[in-house]
Amino acid sequence: MKRFLAPKLLSSFGLVLLLFVGACGTTRAYDGPAQGRDQVAVIRPAPLLNGRRAEIARVDDVAIEPLTSDVEVLPGRHILTLWFQVGSTASERAQGDVEFDAKAGHTYEAHSAVSGFLSVEHWFWIADAGDEMVVGGRPPPLSTERSSTDGK
Protein backbone atom coordinates (compact mmCIF):
# COMPACT_ATOMS: atom_id res chain seq x y z
CA MET A 1 0.00 0.00 0.00
CA LYS A 2 2.81 2.45 0.85
CA ARG A 3 4.51 2.13 -2.52
CA PHE A 4 1.36 3.44 -4.28
CA LEU A 5 1.33 6.63 -2.21
CA ALA A 6 4.32 8.20 -3.99
CA PRO A 7 2.87 7.98 -7.55
CA LYS A 8 -0.43 9.45 -6.31
CA LEU A 9 1.38 12.34 -4.63
CA LEU A 10 3.51 12.91 -7.70
CA SER A 11 0.51 12.91 -10.01
CA SER A 12 -1.33 15.34 -7.70
CA PHE A 13 1.74 17.57 -7.55
CA GLY A 14 2.04 17.39 -11.36
CA LEU A 15 -1.58 18.45 -11.79
CA VAL A 16 -1.15 21.44 -9.46
CA LEU A 17 2.08 22.41 -11.22
CA LEU A 18 0.38 22.13 -14.62
CA LEU A 19 -2.48 24.37 -13.48
CA PHE A 20 -0.02 26.91 -12.05
CA VAL A 21 2.17 26.96 -15.16
CA GLY A 22 -0.92 27.26 -17.35
CA ALA A 23 -2.07 30.31 -15.40
CA CYS A 24 1.36 31.89 -15.79
CA GLY A 25 1.33 31.84 -19.57
CA THR A 26 0.80 34.41 -22.28
CA THR A 27 -2.60 35.96 -22.97
CA ARG A 28 -3.52 37.59 -26.27
CA ALA A 29 -5.55 40.75 -25.64
CA TYR A 30 -6.64 41.09 -29.26
CA ASP A 31 -8.92 39.32 -31.71
CA GLY A 32 -7.79 37.37 -34.72
CA PRO A 33 -4.93 35.00 -35.39
CA ALA A 34 -1.78 34.97 -33.30
CA GLN A 35 0.88 37.40 -34.46
CA GLY A 36 4.66 37.04 -34.24
CA ARG A 37 6.51 38.73 -31.37
CA ASP A 38 7.81 41.38 -33.80
CA GLN A 39 4.20 42.31 -34.66
CA VAL A 40 2.89 42.72 -31.10
CA ALA A 41 3.91 44.42 -27.87
CA VAL A 42 4.32 42.35 -24.71
CA ILE A 43 3.32 43.64 -21.28
CA ARG A 44 4.38 41.82 -18.12
CA PRO A 45 4.32 42.54 -14.40
CA ALA A 46 7.63 43.95 -13.16
CA PRO A 47 9.54 41.89 -10.58
CA LEU A 48 8.52 42.23 -6.93
CA LEU A 49 9.39 45.56 -5.33
CA ASN A 50 9.12 45.78 -1.53
CA GLY A 51 6.88 42.72 -1.55
CA ARG A 52 4.46 44.22 -4.06
CA ARG A 53 3.92 43.33 -7.67
CA ALA A 54 1.56 45.01 -10.08
CA GLU A 55 -0.89 42.54 -11.56
CA ILE A 56 -2.64 43.20 -14.85
CA ALA A 57 -6.41 42.98 -14.39
CA ARG A 58 -7.57 44.30 -17.78
CA VAL A 59 -6.21 45.49 -21.09
CA ASP A 60 -8.81 47.66 -22.80
CA ASP A 61 -11.96 45.51 -22.55
CA VAL A 62 -10.18 42.18 -22.04
CA ALA A 63 -10.07 40.67 -18.53
CA ILE A 64 -6.71 39.08 -17.75
CA GLU A 65 -6.46 35.93 -15.61
CA PRO A 66 -4.57 36.28 -12.33
CA LEU A 67 -0.90 35.24 -12.43
CA THR A 68 -0.63 35.79 -16.18
CA SER A 69 3.02 36.44 -16.96
CA ASP A 70 2.79 38.07 -20.41
CA VAL A 71 0.02 39.90 -22.23
CA GLU A 72 0.33 40.48 -25.98
CA VAL A 73 -1.33 43.53 -27.54
CA LEU A 74 -1.36 44.98 -31.02
CA PRO A 75 0.53 48.27 -31.49
CA GLY A 76 -1.42 51.39 -30.54
CA ARG A 77 -3.07 53.10 -27.58
CA HIS A 78 -4.17 50.86 -24.70
CA ILE A 79 -5.63 51.28 -21.22
CA LEU A 80 -4.39 48.85 -18.59
CA THR A 81 -6.05 48.31 -15.24
CA LEU A 82 -3.37 47.39 -12.72
CA TRP A 83 -3.70 46.35 -9.08
CA PHE A 84 -1.67 45.17 -6.14
CA GLN A 85 -2.43 43.74 -2.73
CA VAL A 86 -2.42 46.31 0.09
CA GLY A 87 -3.81 44.26 2.97
CA SER A 88 -4.10 40.74 4.24
CA THR A 89 -7.31 39.81 2.38
CA ALA A 90 -7.91 39.42 -1.34
CA SER A 91 -10.36 42.33 -1.33
CA GLU A 92 -7.76 44.79 0.00
CA ARG A 93 -6.36 46.03 -3.29
CA ALA A 94 -5.15 49.28 -4.77
CA GLN A 95 -6.15 49.67 -8.40
CA GLY A 96 -5.43 52.19 -11.14
CA ASP A 97 -5.68 52.70 -14.88
CA VAL A 98 -2.65 53.50 -17.04
CA GLU A 99 -2.85 54.61 -20.67
CA PHE A 100 0.08 54.23 -23.07
CA ASP A 101 1.07 53.70 -26.71
CA ALA A 102 2.44 50.22 -27.37
CA LYS A 103 5.01 49.70 -30.13
CA ALA A 104 5.44 46.44 -32.03
CA GLY A 105 8.44 44.40 -30.91
CA HIS A 106 8.71 46.15 -27.54
CA THR A 107 8.33 44.61 -24.10
CA TYR A 108 6.84 46.69 -21.29
CA GLU A 109 6.74 46.20 -17.53
CA ALA A 110 3.79 47.13 -15.31
CA HIS A 111 4.92 48.73 -12.02
CA SER A 112 3.21 49.69 -8.78
CA ALA A 113 4.28 51.39 -5.59
CA VAL A 114 2.87 52.92 -2.44
CA SER A 115 4.16 56.01 -0.66
CA GLY A 116 3.27 57.95 2.43
CA PHE A 117 2.16 56.99 5.89
CA LEU A 118 -0.81 59.06 7.03
CA SER A 119 -1.70 60.12 3.50
CA VAL A 120 -1.06 57.00 1.42
CA GLU A 121 -0.73 57.30 -2.35
CA HIS A 122 -0.70 54.42 -4.83
CA TRP A 123 1.31 54.69 -8.01
CA PHE A 124 1.00 52.76 -11.27
CA TRP A 125 3.15 53.09 -14.38
CA ILE A 126 4.38 51.29 -17.48
CA ALA A 127 8.06 51.31 -18.47
CA ASP A 128 9.75 50.04 -21.61
CA ALA A 129 11.78 47.01 -20.50
CA GLY A 130 14.54 47.86 -22.98
CA ASP A 131 15.48 51.35 -21.84
CA GLU A 132 13.37 51.65 -18.64
CA MET A 133 11.69 54.82 -19.93
CA VAL A 134 8.28 55.46 -18.40
CA VAL A 135 5.72 55.42 -21.23
CA GLY A 136 2.50 55.68 -19.22
CA GLY A 137 1.25 56.51 -15.74
CA ARG A 138 3.42 58.07 -13.05
CA PRO A 139 6.05 56.56 -10.79
CA PRO A 140 6.42 57.96 -7.27
CA PRO A 141 8.34 61.27 -7.13
CA LEU A 142 11.44 59.71 -5.53
CA SER A 143 11.58 56.85 -8.02
CA THR A 144 14.82 56.27 -9.92
CA GLU A 145 12.78 55.48 -13.03
CA ARG A 146 13.30 57.89 -15.89
CA SER A 147 10.23 59.36 -17.50
CA SER A 148 9.74 59.67 -21.25
CA THR A 149 8.51 63.21 -20.58
CA ASP A 150 11.57 64.45 -18.67
CA GLY A 151 13.58 65.18 -21.80
CA LYS A 152 16.25 62.51 -21.26
Q: What is the predicted pLDDT for the residue at 88?
A: 75
Cα angle 73, 110, 21 (rounded to 5 degrees) comes to: 75
Q: What is the predicted pLDDT for the residue at 14?
A: 42
* Cβ atoms < 10 Å from Cβ of 65: 13
At 3-59, the pLDDT tens digits run 544 444 444 444 333 344 444 688 999 999 999 999 999 999 998 766 678 999 999
Query: Cα–Cα distance between 123 and 138 in angstroms, integer?
Result: 6
pTM of the model: 0.75
Query: Cα–Cα distance between 114 and 53 in angstroms, integer?
Result: 11
Sheet harboring 55-59: ordered strands across? 62-63, 55-59, 76-85, 93-102
Greatest distance between any 2 Cα atoms in the chain: 70
- Indicate whether 73 pLDDT > 90: yes
Mean pLDDT of 83-90: 80
Averaged confidence pLDDT in the chain = 80
For residue 73, give the nearest of 10, 14, 150, 136 by alpha carbon: 136
Query: Cα–Cα distance between 17 and 57 in angstroms, integer?
Result: 22
Quick one: pLDDT band at residue 93, thresholds 50, 70, 90?
A: confident
Mean pLDDT of 66-77: 93
The letter for the amino acid at 50 is N
- How far, CA to CA in Å, does 30 sit from each of 40, 65, 128? 10, 15, 20
